[in-house]
Amino acid sequence: MVRAARITPNMARVTLGGPSLAGFVSGGLDQRVKLLLPLPGQAEPLMPAGEDEFGWYQHWRTMDPAVRPVLRTYTVRAQRRDPDEVDIDIVVNGDHGPGSRWAERAVPGDRVIVCGPAVEEAGGVEFQLPDGADWVLLAGDESTLPAVAAILAGLPAGLPVRVFAEVEGPAEHGYLPADRPGTTITWLHRGRPGTPTLPDAVRAADLPSGTPYAWIAGEAADVRALRRHLVAERGYHRRAVCFMGYWRLGATEDQRADEPTEPDEG
């Protein structure tokens, strides 16, 4: 079962349901899953073969592109039981990629394949708040907002958080909670005159003192620049900076099917 609704001008919430989700176990926070989407003309995606945990992915890479399902990675925004449902929030910002098109057109009865954890701590959760952290830094673009929202909901009450979010415009502000105590959100409107890039905004920021824990994600080049700044220029311990390239400018997960490593989130 699939149903979809627009929750901001550039974000659609797709709710997946069905008996097969009974065994799905989300680790919460920034839990990631793979969605296999049907190609145009397919009623449902073809399931790659594979006997072990990641065998399906290796088989997917070798499938004929004419029938190979579209692969995208997304954050689990919420999970519910009775009935079993999973919410996936997907950016639909007019780039007309296959994931965006699918999210905009999804209707009840559509079928997709979800590849995610079936046991606790099976992977896909990167945010690990260490003991002794005095405050948290979260930085990313639209693609990271579902993870940022889930992380904020799961943090200890009152723990100070600084958020830097690069988006298209103010219509996206309502996605993150504005009333969590101790949270300061800096919104950056991409391409607007006088608006710094995400890395430049963090470089220029007067960040709190004390022991930090940073989670940065989004476009791979921005993530590298931010991590370099935090570790090399601000002196943060490497283990205090969690970083993920969710997507890469000019490349999709399908185009990287022949690369030797598992794709970044896209």
Predicted pLDDT of residue 116: 86
Predicted pLDDT of residue 51: 55
Mean pLDDT in order along the chain per 10 residues (266 residues): 88 93 90 92 84 76 92 94 95 78 90 85 84 97 96 95 96 92 96 94 97 97 97 97 90 58 41
Predicted pLDDT of residue 126: 93
φ, ψ of residue 122 to 5 degrees: the values are: -90, 5
**Encoded tokens for 4:** 């979809």
pTM to 2 decimals?
0.89
Predicted pLDDT of residue 72: 93
Predicted pLDDT of residue 266: 39
Predicted pLDDT of residue 265: 42
Residues in the chain: 266
Predicted pLDDT of residue 55: 78
